[in-house]
Amino acid sequence: MNTAPKKPVPAAPVSVALVTGGSRGLGKAMVLALADRGVDTLFTYKSAEAEARAVVAAIEAKGRRAVALRLDVGDARSFGAFAEAVRAELARVWKRDRFDALVNNAGIAGHARLDEVTEEKLDELFAVHVKGTVLLTQRLLPLIADGGRVVNLSSGLARFSMPGFGAYAAMKGAVEVLTRYMAVELGPRGISVNTLAPGAIETDFGGGMVRDNPAINAMIAGQTALGRVGLPDDVGGALALLLSPDARWINGQRIEVAGGINL
């Protein structure tokens, strides 16, 4: 993953970012927050084309540019064609051959106790969260500008434990280790790599249990220092902050965005 130039590369301003899973939930909040701060985006969606088009329209209404591309992050065989599509859109829309920041956000939930989780579910979680993060980043590295950024999404569940989330949290733990290794290996290109770890957020993720179940919502709020569960905009704003020029010297870190849960 490392091609080292002869001297340090300064951090580049982020003007175009690529966010996986940007059509809904946290990804949608991220691309909208970036648009509010003057950043254009390419973002992916798996199947919700109408939702993706609506997000593009919302970004354009803010005066920024956006392109939505279909991608299944669990299908590594598609990454080569996806990288070529990204290259083509960069040339068509932005008249450039590289983007500035990659956000590996797309993911799937997995709720099952370890004595119940299936091999099929483990394989699916691994393909999306671990294999997808490694191989998609690898494919896109030639398109990321020197001095750019990579942000990998983890979870508060990689720090604290809740029954039924062991397999999912283990994948996110692997993502956190990968982040540190990426930071070391991509450092010679001036690319910083960090982990953003949201806590419980009111989205449709995991069937919307945090958003739609009042008992779960209240339980989590009671364990959180700031007294509520998270909202998508909390994470979108944190991602935008991490990609800002003022965060250029943050590297190889795990940043939890959880309101102070289980402190």
**Active-site residue 168, yes or no?**
yes
- Alpha carbon 174 to its chain centroid, in Å, reads 15
What does the H/E/C string look like for 165-206? CHHHHHHHHHHHHHHHHHHHHHHHHCCEEEEEEECCECCCHH
Give me the torsion for CA of 89, 191, 259, 171, rounded to 10°.
80
Rounded Cα distance, 189 and 154, in Å:
24
- Coil, helix or strand for 8? coil
Give the C-alpha distances (Å, rounded to integers) separating 217 from 168, 207, 225: 20, 13, 14
The two structure tokens encoding residue 46: 């798996």
- Find the catalytic residue in 45, 99, 165, 168: 168
The two structure tokens encoding residue 45: 């969606």
Q: Which ranges in 109-165 belong to alpha helices (H)? A: 119-125, 132-140
Tell which residue, 160, 151, 135, has the closest CA to residue 191. Answer: 151
Tell which residue, 213, 193, 192, 194, has the closest CA to residue 202. Answer: 213
Rounded Cα distance, 87 and 127, in Å:
24
- Alpha carbon 183 to its chain centroid, in Å, reads 16
Side chain identity at residue 206, one-letter code: G
Angle between helices 49-61 and 25-36 (to 10 degrees): 20
Q: Give me the active site residues, please.
A: 168
